[in-house]
């Protein structure tokens, strides 16, 4: 029998990457991409005071404008992070700005925060919270995170991040401030401990009632830079870290003709650095903050590895682009097999 999901993924891989992306968002938003099965109870886990049906989230940047949040949750993600959204609409960098490095199971992107802006973003999310005919609000089937960024020009992080938190706090199960995209000039400088402290203070003062707050970090900082950031995050009331965003590094192992394109590299070549950063932060963290690991996750074994290293949850992006929604069934099956091989009865038990 023809597997519609797999055939669609095969066709999408043959299109220009941005056209394929647009089509994928459209079909997921309209429920045409299928529905995941209910998750095995062994995959259920708790973090950030929230309950997750499984630990595999969709990383930010796939649904930047919150157009397909419910459909993405229905595919079987354990949580969905939408955004990055900026205060004002902006077009991002000129095309081409998205490159598949198929030989390397990787992507390079220099999208540059193409965003519909916060007003349209909130309009797109609002229907999720509207009561149905019976007066009931039907939330998405998994927690929803909202990832916040700043405009390329005319931005003031001390004003913009608190304002964005204010606009999105009613819609978000958690909020991420993105300080790590390599495609917005100056953004990554905000990771410096003193600047981070000022941003966190501004958010905390304006919105003490905010949902859990996470900070997403780059993999390209020097190893010794992570300790002061972690300390500042804890002191500033942050609830979790996402480790990591894409890298500017270009490992010598890359084969694809696109390997010299400017932008952030994701997928398999990011695995080693994303693991290393998780390892070093996890050791210092001693379970004080929730850690979400992102970068080059391709198998159930990768997921269990990150969870054993101290991650509470994981996120995928590049693997989802290459395999489509079927990747979720595969990853969950593999994770359950790996757990059984390691004698782990449930993820909840692993975290105790
Ligand atoms: C095309 C593309 C766009 C992305 N856009 C964003 C973004 O807007 N905000 C963000 O925080 N991360 C963004 N990311 C980074 C991902 O969320 C993720 O952290 C990174 O790709 C590593 O995971 P992966 O190796 O599974 O892809 C983007 C990644 C890709 C490939």
Here the CATH number for the domain that contains residue 135 is 3.20.20.70
The answer as to whether 15 is a domain residue is no
Q: CA 248 to CA 293: how far, in whole Å?
A: 18
Q: Give me the pLDDT at residue 281, please.
A: 97
Range name among 24-33, 87-96, 330-339, 340-349 with the lowest pLDDT average: 24-33
The answer as to whether 2 is a domain residue is no
Dmax over CA atoms of the chain, in Å, equals 59
The answer as to whether 31 is a domain residue is no
- Residue-range definition of the domain harbouring residue 237: 37-351
The answer as to whether 24 is a domain residue is no
The answer as to whether 110 is a domain residue is yes
The answer as to whether 158 is a domain residue is yes
Closest atom, ligand 1, to C-alpha of 245: 19
Q: CA 47 to CA 288: how far, in whole Å?
A: 12
Closest atom, ligand 1, to C-alpha of 107: 31
Q: 194: which 2 tokens? A: 């003193």
Q: CA 320 to CA 153: how far, in whole Å?
A: 31
Q: How far is the CA of 82 from the centre of ligand 1 (A)?
A: 11
Q: How far is the CA of 317 from the centre of ligand 1 (A)?
A: 6
pLDDT at 312 over 90: yes
Contact between residue 158 and residue 200 where contact means Cβ atoms under 8 Å apart: no
Active site residue 181: yes
Q: Ligand 1 pocket: which residues have CB below 6 Å?
A: 59-61, 64, 84, 98, 107, 109, 111, 147, 178, 181, 216, 245-246, 266-267, 270, 294-297, 316-319
Domain count, the chain: 1
Q: Give me the pLDDT at residue 87, please.
A: 98
For 63, how many CA atoms within 13 A lie in the half-sphere containing its CB?
28
Q: What is the mean pLDDT of residues 335-341?
A: 97
Say how many residues make up the chain. 352
Q: CA 7 to CA 10: how far, in whole Å?
A: 5
The answer as to whether 231 is a domain residue is yes
Q: Give me the pLDDT at residue 1, please.
A: 47
Residue found by looking up tokens 């595999």 in the block: 56
The answer as to whether 18 is a domain residue is no
Percent of the chain with pLDDT over 90: 80
């Amino acid at each position: 029998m023809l597997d519609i999901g797999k055939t669609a993924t095969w066709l999408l891989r043959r299109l220009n990457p941005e056209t394929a992306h647009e089509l994928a968002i459209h079909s997921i938003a309209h429920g045409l991409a299928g529905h995941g099965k209910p998750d095995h109870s062994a995959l259920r886990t708790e973090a950030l005071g929230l309950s997750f049906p499984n630990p595999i989230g969709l990383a930010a940047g796939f649904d930047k404008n919150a157009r397909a949040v419910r459909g993405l949750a229905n595919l079987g993600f354990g949580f969905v992070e939408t955004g990055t959204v900026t205060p004002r609409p902006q077009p991002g960098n000129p095309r081409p700005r998205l490159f598949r490095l198929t030989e390397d199971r990787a992507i390079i992107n220099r999208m540059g925060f193409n965003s519909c802006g916060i007003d349209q973003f909130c309009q797109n999310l609002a229907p999720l919270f509207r009561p149905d005919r019976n007066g009931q609000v039907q939330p998405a089937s998994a927690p929803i995170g909202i990832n916040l960024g700043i405009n390329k020009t005319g931005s003031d992080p001390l004003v913009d991040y608190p304002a964005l938190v204010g606009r999105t706090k009613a819609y978000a199960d958690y909020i991420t401030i993105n300080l790590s995209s390599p495609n917005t000039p100056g953004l990554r400088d905000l990771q410096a401990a003193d600047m981070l402290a000022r941003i966190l203070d501004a958010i905390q003062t304006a919105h003490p009632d905010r949902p859990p707050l996470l900070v997403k970090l780059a993999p390209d900082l020097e190893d010794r830079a992570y300790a002061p950031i972690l300390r500042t995050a804890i002191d500033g009331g942050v609830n979790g870290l996402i480790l990591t965003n894409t890298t500017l590094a270009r490992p010598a192992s890359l084969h694809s003709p696109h390997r010299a394109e400017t932008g952030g590299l994701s997928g398999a070549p990011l695995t080693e650095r994303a693991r290393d950063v998780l390892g070093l932060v996890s050791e210092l963290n001693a379970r004080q903050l929730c850690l979400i690991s992102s970068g080059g996750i391709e198998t159930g074994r990768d997921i269990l590895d990150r969870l054993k290293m101290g991650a509470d949850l994981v996120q995928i992006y590049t693997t989802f682009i290459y395999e489509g929604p079927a990747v979720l069934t595969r990853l969950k099956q593999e994770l359950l097999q790996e757990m059984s091989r390691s004698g782990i009865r449930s993820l909840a038990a692993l975290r105790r």
